[in-house]
Structure 1
Amino acid sequence: MQQITLDEASQHLSDLVEAALSGEEIIIIKDNQPVVKLTPVSPVKRRPQFGSAKGLITISDDFDEPLEDFKEYME
Structure 2
Amino acid sequence: MLPTTTFQNVEKSLKQLPDSLQIEVLHYIEFLKSNYVKQLDQANIETLEDKKVKKRDGFGIWQGQITMSEDFDAPMKEFEEYIQI
State the TM-score, normalized to the length of structure 1.
0.36
Name the structure where helix makes up a greater proportion of residues.
Answer: 2
If asked which structure has higher relative contact order (CA below 8 Å, sep 6+), I would say: 1
Q: TM-score, normalised by structure 2?
A: 0.32
Structure with a larger share of its residues in strand: 1
